[in-house]
């Protein structure tokens, strides 16, 4: 016996990746429905590499009654309309948008970090998936926090254009091509040229000068990991198609050496430590694409503070940052609460 699962936003980057991962991990399915807007109705999309084709249905007309869970990758505006409708029909929503992340009645889950928090899902029958840059960072921070208690985190991100969807990927490709042939590299999706450039601006600006992306990293880390941790972030868009990178500086309450941290991270769930102090002894975004792990490299002590460490963190943002984490939440929900699969 398996689950009846809906994937909403199935034609987008994250939705397609959800389908790939459900197939790869052989998620126990009795039935699957793929939804999108009316303009995609009737289209067929692949269910991973199974050879099976799935016909897209219009989310506006879909009846969620009798379905166990729905993975949403449809943006906040559409989620605001459809998530309460699905939840009220008894279909648990796992939402990739930012809409419910800071709702106190909605658990914000990274299964390797705070699996027990999922027990609060019944308040609204909705579970939130964190921001992509937050998800990979807290996977790295959790085992270190358990060992030496984190006081403060300073993070600079190097975020790929796929975080801005297909339009972001298209703009990087088109601008790069245009520059090579001498054509205009006009910015449309991004605020400035992204090809051969970096942009220290993701999402809208807030009154204090930070961006909403930076704010998300702060408040989501506190909600998922520990409200006492101080976090400051600078989020930067870089000309990489897939894979977010982060330079993370951590200050601890208790003493911890780089060697101890390496040993802890080597055994941590969801983490792959690749940290050789030699040419190429670290992971870059190109190498993480298509992988489930959060890769950690360049672990070293920071002598400018007591009990400080710095490290490099890389992950496929379409996977751990979105689709994989959502599927892991679905697996956790099944194991811990629904218990339909053998």
Catalytic residue among 235, 244, 288, 313: 244
Is 317 marked within a binding site?
yes
Catalytic residue among 82, 91, 132, 313: 132
Look up 91 and say whether it is catalytic. Answer: no
Which residue, among 173, 172, 291, 311, has the nearest Cα to 237 in the 3D structure?
Answer: 172
Report the distance separating Cα 212 and Cα 283, nearest Å. Answer: 28
Please say whether the beta carbons of 203 and 212 come within 8 A: yes
For residue 333, the surrounding DSSP H or E stretch is: helix 324-333
Is 125 marked within a binding site?
no
Start-to-end CA distance of the chain, whole Å, equals 6
Which residue, among 89, 87, 96, 91, has the nearest Cα to 128 in the 3D structure?
Answer: 96
Is 20 marked within a binding site?
no
Beta-carbon contacts of 167 under 8 Å, excluding residues fewer than 6 positions away, are 188, 189
Beta-carbon contacts of 306 under 8 Å, excluding residues fewer than 6 positions away, are 251
Please say whether the beta carbons of 321 and 327 come within 8 A: no
Is 336 marked within a binding site?
no
Tokens of 105: 């009645």
Look up 288 and say whether it is catalytic. Answer: no
In this structure, the number of other CB atoms found within 10 A of the CB of residue 39 comes to: 10
Is 12 marked within a binding site?
yes
Strands in 29-36's sheet, in edge-to-edge order, are 44-46, 53-58, 29-36, 3-8, 69-72, 92-95, 126-128
Is 101 marked within a binding site?
yes
Is 182 marked within a binding site?
no
Is 165 marked within a binding site?
no
Which residue, among 235, 245, 165, 240, has the nearest Cα to 195 in the 3D structure?
Answer: 240
H-helix segments, 184-269? 212-224, 258-266
Q: How many residues does the chain have?
A: 342
Helices (H) and strands (E) in the chain, counts: 8, 13
Is 11 marked within a binding site?
yes
Please say whether the beta carbons of 295 and 288 come within 8 A: yes
* Residues annotated within a binding site for NADP(+): 11-14, 39-40, 162-163, 317
* Residues annotated within a binding site for phosphate: 101
* Residues annotated within a binding site for substrate: 159, 237
Residues assigned a catalytic role: 132, 244
* Residues annotated within a binding site: 11-14, 39-40, 101, 159, 162-163, 237, 317
């Amino acid at each position: 016996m398996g689950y009846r699962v809906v994937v909403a936003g199935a034609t987008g980057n994250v939705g397609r990746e959800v389908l790939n991962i459900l197939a790869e991990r052989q998620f126990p399915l009795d039935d699957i429905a793929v939804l999108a807007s009316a303009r995609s109705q009737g289209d067929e999309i692949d269910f991973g590499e199974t050879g099976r084709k799935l016909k897209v249905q219009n989310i506006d007309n879909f009846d969620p009654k009798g379905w166990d869970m729905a993975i949403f990758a449809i943006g906040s505006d559409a989620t605001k309309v459809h998530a309460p409708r699905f939840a009220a029909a008894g279909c648990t929503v796992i939402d990739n948008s930012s809409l419910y992340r800071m709702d106190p009645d909605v658990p914000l889950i990274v299964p390797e970090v705070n699996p027990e928090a999922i027990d609060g899902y019944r308040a609204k029958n909705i579970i939130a998936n964190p921001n992509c840059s937050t998800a990979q960072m807290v996977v790295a921070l959790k085992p270190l926090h358990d060992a030496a208690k984190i006081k403060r985190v300073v993070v600079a991100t190097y975020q790929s254009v796929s975080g801005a969807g297909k339009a972001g990927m298209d703009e990087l490709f088109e601008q790069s091509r245009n520059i090579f042939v001498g054509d205009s590299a006009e910015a449309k999706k991004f605020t400035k040229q992204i090809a051969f450039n970096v942009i220290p601006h993701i999402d809208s600006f807030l009154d204090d000068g930070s961006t909403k992306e930076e704010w998300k990293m702060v408040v989501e880390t506190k909600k998922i990991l520990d409200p006492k941790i101080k976090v400051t972030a600078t989020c930067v868009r870089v000309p990489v198609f897939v894979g977010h990178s982060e330079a993370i500086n951590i200050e601890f309450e208790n003493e911890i050496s780089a060697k101890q941290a390496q040993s802890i991270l080597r055994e941590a769930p969801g983490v792959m430590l690749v940290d050789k102090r030699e040419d190429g002894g670290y992971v870059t975004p190109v190498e993480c694409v298509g992988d489930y792990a959060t890769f950690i490299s360049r672990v070293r002590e920071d002598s400018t503070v007591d009990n400080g460490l710095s490290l490099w963190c890389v992950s496929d943002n379409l996977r751990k940052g979105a689709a994989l984490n959502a599927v892991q939440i679905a697996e956790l929900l099944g194991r811990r609460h629904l218990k339909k699969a053998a």
